[in-house]
């Protein structure tokens, strides 16, 4: 049986998907599998950026082109804006990026500051993590935190300690890339615990099922990352299918694959239940700054009712 048969009729919110690294075919596959909304966190691009204008163009694409591109497949696109930890170590450039961040944090569709936090846990990373926590406080936005791949437990604890030190309510902080080693402390301290489902590393589908069976669904959510490496844009619906086959209830599945993500990021004031429930009208004859998702001779899909997302 195809996994799509198992989850037929379910809706999903992938709260961490770097769609800039994906093709339009991935958007179509996600829509076909029931993904109705994504949050795209600001990210690094695989190689170092060399000037502040490259960041400016990238942030503009998150609130512009990617939002449009997702709408062409019926998916609502939100984003978080921030200077990622990896690029915080170029301090001369980081200082310039910090100056332009406020120009983007108040734009439509921006639902948080992120993804920020630690990579190698350097003094520079801590400096700009703290500075961006202050920006989040000023903007009253949730914070999306990247926990380090190395020495994860210490980095996760440190990330939470610093957030609390800055007076950030844990309910406004999504701690991402959790695993079995970090989840208990994150939940015990009142933070949101997000899990990235990768095919071969970090968290797998089966391990995620076990986490939900052990800890329940409160403040737990799953995502695909959809990044430049080996990742699966259908990780959320596939995990939902495995949860269902493992006896987890539809309501519990909905909490960790849809509702919790909505609740956490709706604190931004940028989304409402009606936003996600209303169908997105698809009009592929539209263009964004003169550009279309269609190529030579392809017929556009044009729905006839509802409101087109802009």
The whole-number pLDDT of residue 277 equals 82
Phi, psi of 191, deg, nearest 5: -85, 165
The token pair that represents 149 in the structure block: 């791949």
The token pair that represents 270 in the structure block: 């940028």
Annotated domain spans of the chain: 9-276
Query: Using CA atoms, how far apart are residues 196 and 235, in angstroms rounded to an integer?
Result: 9
Is residue 125 within 8 A of residue 132, CB to CB? The reply is no
Between residues 44 and 165, which one has the greater pLDDT? 165
Q: Which CATH class is domain 9-276?
A: alpha beta
The whole-number pLDDT of residue 309 equals 42
The whole-number pLDDT of residue 304 equals 57
The whole-number pLDDT of residue 286 equals 77
Residue with tokens 């200082």: 95
pLDDT in tens, 45-79: 888 899 999 999 999 999 999 999 999 999 999 99
Strand partners, 76: 37
Query: Using CA atoms, how far apart are residues 67 and 267, in angstroms rounded to an integer?
Result: 20
Phi, psi of 26, deg, nearest 5: -65, -40
From the number of C-beta atoms within 10 Å of its C-beta (0-12, 13-18, 19+), residue 274 rates as exposed
Instruction: Categorize the per-residue pLDDT at 101 as very low, low, confident or very high, splitting at 50, 70 and 90.
Output: very high
Is residue 19 within 8 A of residue 43, CB to CB? The reply is no
Q: Residue 23 pLDDT more than 50?
A: yes
Q: What is the largest CA-CA distance in the chain?
A: 57
Query: Using CA atoms, how far apart are residues 267 and 270, in angstroms rounded to an integer?
Result: 8
From the number of C-beta atoms within 10 Å of its C-beta (0-12, 13-18, 19+), residue 23 rates as exposed
As a whole number, the mean pLDDT across the chain is: 91
Query: Using CA atoms, how far apart are residues 9 and 11, in angstroms rounded to an integer?
Result: 7
Q: Residue 230 pLDDT more than 60?
A: yes
Mode of pairing for the β-strands spanning 280-281 and 220-223: unpaired
Residue with tokens 């994504």: 38
pLDDT in tens, 175-210: 999 999 999 999 999 999 999 997 765 556 889 999
The token pair that represents 142 in the structure block: 């949730």
Averaged over 28-45, what is the pLDDT? 95
The whole-number pLDDT of residue 154 equals 96
């Amino acid at each position: 049986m195809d996994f799509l048969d198992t989850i037929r009729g379910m809706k999903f919110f992938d709260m961490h998907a770097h769609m800039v690294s994906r093709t339009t075919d991935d958007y179509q596959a996600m829509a076909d599998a029931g993904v109705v909304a994504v949050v795209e966190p600001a990210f690094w691009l695989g190689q170092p950026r060399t000037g502040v204008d490259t960041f400016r163009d990238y942030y503009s694409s998150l609130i512009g082109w990617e939002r449009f591109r997702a709408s062409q497949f019926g998916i609502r696109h939100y984003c978080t804006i921030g200077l990622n930890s990896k690029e915080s170590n170029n301090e001369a450039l980081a200082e310039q990026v910090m100056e332009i961040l406020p120009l983007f944090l108040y734009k439509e569709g921006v639902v948080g500051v992120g993804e920020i936090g630690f990579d190698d846990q350097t003094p520079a990373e801590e400096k700009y993590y703290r500075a961006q926590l202050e920006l989040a406080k000023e903007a009253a936005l949730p914070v999306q935190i990247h926990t380090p791949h190395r020495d994860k437990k210490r980095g996760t604890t440190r990330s939470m300690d610093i957030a609390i030190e800055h007076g950030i309510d844990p309910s406004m902080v999504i701690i991402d890339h959790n695993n079995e080693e970090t989840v208990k402390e994150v939940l015990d301290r009142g933070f949101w615990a997000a899990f990235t489902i990768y095919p071969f590393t970090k968290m797998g589908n089966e391990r995620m099922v076990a986490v939900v069976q052990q800890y329940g669904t409160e403040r737990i959510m799953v995502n695909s990352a959809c990044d430049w490496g080996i990742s699966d844009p259908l990780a959320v619906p596939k995990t939902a299918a495995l949860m269902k086959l493992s006896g987890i209830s539809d309501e519990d599945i909905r909490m960790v694959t849809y509702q919790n993500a909505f609740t956490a990021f709706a604190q931004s004031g940028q989304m409402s239940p009606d936003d996600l429930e209303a169908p997105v009208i698809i009009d592929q004859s539209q263009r964004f700054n003169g550009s279309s998702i269609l190529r030579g001779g392809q017929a556009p899909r044009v729905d006839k009712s509802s409101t087109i997302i802009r």
